[in-house]
Structure formats: C-alpha cells, structure tokens
C-alpha cells in the first residue's frame, strides 16, 4: 500500500511539474495529456472513456493534426528513428518490449526524462524513462512531428 501511495504522489508531482519551469508548459501536447490524465485503461480504447497505449498516442497525435497507425508495432514503423535518449524531444514516440516479443507498448515523450502512456494498471499516467521497469524494456523512439508541427504543438514559444 505504501508503494502505491508513493507512486501516486510521485505521478501527481510529475504531472503538475510539467508546467513548472518547463518549455512545454502550455503546449497542445501537455494540455492534451493533462486533460486525459487518469483516464482508465481499456483494451482497444481510443477515447476519453478509456485508452490502450496506441489508442492514447493516436488520440494525442490527432490533436496535433497527425495520423498514426492503430497498433504500437505499426507506429514503430512510422517517423524517423531517434538514435539516443539524449536526443529525445517532446512529442517523440517511445517504444517498449513489455511482453518479451518485440514492440508491445508505446508512449509519448514529454521532456525532462518523462513520458505519458496508458498503463494497464493506472490508466493515463506519467513515468520516467529511467525507471527500472521501463529502462530495461526500452526499444527505441521515433520522431513523428515535422519541425513546423513540433514548434506549433510541442513547445510553448
């Protein structure tokens, strides 16, 4: 129980720190994530009634005028590879192998080492790429947004 409370408090702190000292304070990206934070996980879900991981990323990118494939494995084949974690920018898709058979989970990078995703146990949630669970399962990242869309939707200029 104590671990769950600590995790919940950390998640809320991460969520509310997105607007504090962040270049992404009022972007469409963070506004969209904040608006659905805590929405429950739902297999096949693509709406505010419930999301799965690729349904969440599809929803977020639709708000930025970008169409994504429906499944995480297919989304992994879109965009340009981001070669190092140090090169990640807000709006990049981050991919994980959570089932042991290749890409099976996706989230959207928010900056400051944080990403938003649809957790099967917590719903729409923010985690750190450096967490022990996700750092071990990280597969790679893809840059989907053009430079113009990045400036328009992912940063607060």
What pLDDT, on the 0 to 100 scale, is given for residue 26? 64
Average of per-residue pLDDT values in the chain: 87
Q: What is the pLDDT of residues 101-144, one digit of tens each?
A: 999 999 999 999 999 999 999 999 999 999 999 999 999 999 99
* pLDDT tens digits along 38-67: 999 999 999 999 999 999 999 999 999 999
53 part of the active site: yes
Which is the catalytic residue, given 14, 18, 53, 154?
Answer: 53
Q: What percent of the chain has pLDDT over 70?
A: 82
Q: Which residues, 6+ apart, have CB-to-CB distance to 35 below 8 Å? A: none
Q: What backbone torsions phi and psi does residue 36 show, to the nearest 5 degrees?
A: -115, 5
> Which pLDDT belongs to residue 156?
61
From the candidates 105, 107, 126, 145, which is the catalytic residue? 105
Q: Active-site residue among 29, 32, 117, 155?
A: 117
105 as an active site residue: the answer is yes
């Amino acid at each position: 129980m104590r671990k769950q409370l600590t995790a919940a408090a950390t998640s809320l702190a991460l969520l509310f720190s997105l607007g504090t000292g962040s270049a992404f304070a009022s972007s469409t990206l963070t506004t969209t994530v904040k608006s659905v934070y805590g929405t429950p996980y739902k297999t096949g879900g693509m709406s505010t009634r419930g999301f799965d991981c690729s349904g969440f990323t599809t929803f977020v990118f639709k708000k930025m005028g970008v169409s994504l494939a429906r499944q995480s494995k297919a989304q992994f084949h879109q965009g340009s590879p981001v070669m190092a974690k140090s090169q990640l920018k807000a709006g990049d898709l981050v991919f994980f192998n959570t089932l042991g058979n290749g890409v099976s989970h996706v989230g959207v990078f928010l900056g400051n080492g944080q990403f938003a995703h649809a957790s099967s146990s917590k719903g729409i949630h923010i985690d750190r790429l450096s967490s022990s669970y996700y750092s071990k399962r990280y597969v790679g990242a893809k840059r989907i947004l053009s430079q113009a869309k990045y400036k328009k939707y992912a940063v607060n200029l």
